[in-house]
Amino acid sequence: MSDEKIEDIVDDVEECEEYIVSDAEDVDKRLDVYLSEKLGVSRSHVKNLISGEYVSVNGKSVKAGQLLKKGDSITVTEQEVRQLDLTPQNIPLDIVYEDEDIAVINKPQGMVVHPAPGAYDNTLVNALLYHLKSLSGINGVVRPGIVHRLDKDTSGLLVVAKNDEAHLSLQAQIASKDAKRYYYALVDGVVSKDEGIIETYIDRSKKDRKMMAVSRNSGRLATTLYTVEERFSNYTFMRYELKTGRTHQIRVHSKHIGHPVVGDPVYGGSNKFNLKGQLLHAFRLTLTHPRTGTEMSFDAPLPDYFEDVLDKLRAKKQS
């Protein structure tokens, strides 16, 4: 596979977004006006999406001038067609485990998982195409084998499917919460409770469409469990377990409780350690093997830069 190229006309798909009309101010508002505000784009762009049937309300096709009702479910799938030349690249990978069905990868900070606008090469997918002999095709040419993702500057474990049967099994395990994902993070401030549950709705930010934000009752329900591992004078070392897998979930929830992840430039984390991204690491992944039914658990140690920060804080704590 190392010398192959995948050339096709594919869609750069900005993930399907769902909005629930809940605020009184949005009731009886035109659909195109509502989406223009939500998406941060012009009404003419929204009208093009609607005419291209990339927008539905309650699962049905709609017109731009449709007036919204409380509880309406609006789904948007925006697509930009381009020529994709997806080349296998000999990028070093930390393959924690591999067999004929799955591979578990310890992704480094700074690596994008799959091609997207602004990052069409040097992604995890480019590396997978070089190193692995087969990948599932369920997510198409642009995301072969990708069952779940990590943010670019989040390090740690993710599982890759090498065939469609494995992909469907892993996807179902994540949806049913049978697969478990655990993270370590260093956050700003001292978290008072030893453990807790953060449960909110998460939606696109009204101020910046590239960001996510906690909302009252629109978007998608997100649940995160946390445990305090260690406290310092101005920071807390945290352990998180994802019960859902929303975009930027831990980062958004950490900000929501007043303790953003250190090094996170998007959600307000401090950066006094010359970091290149947030101190967030997916350290453990537990799943059931799709073929054998055996429960498997994988661990990835904290990256050196993360350990270095903890060592500095512990030394200061003891002095």
- Residues marked as catalytic: 151
DSSP label of 68? P
CB-based contact 96:157 (threshold 8 Å): yes
Q: How far is CA 127 from CA 101, 165, 256, in A?
A: 18, 22, 35
Q: Nearest CA to 176 among 287, 262, 252?
A: 287
CB 292: neighbour CB atoms within 10 A? 10
Q: How many helices (H) and strands (E) does the chain have?
A: 6, 14
CB-based contact 21:125 (threshold 8 Å): no
Angle between helices 43-51 and 31-39 (to 10 degrees): 110
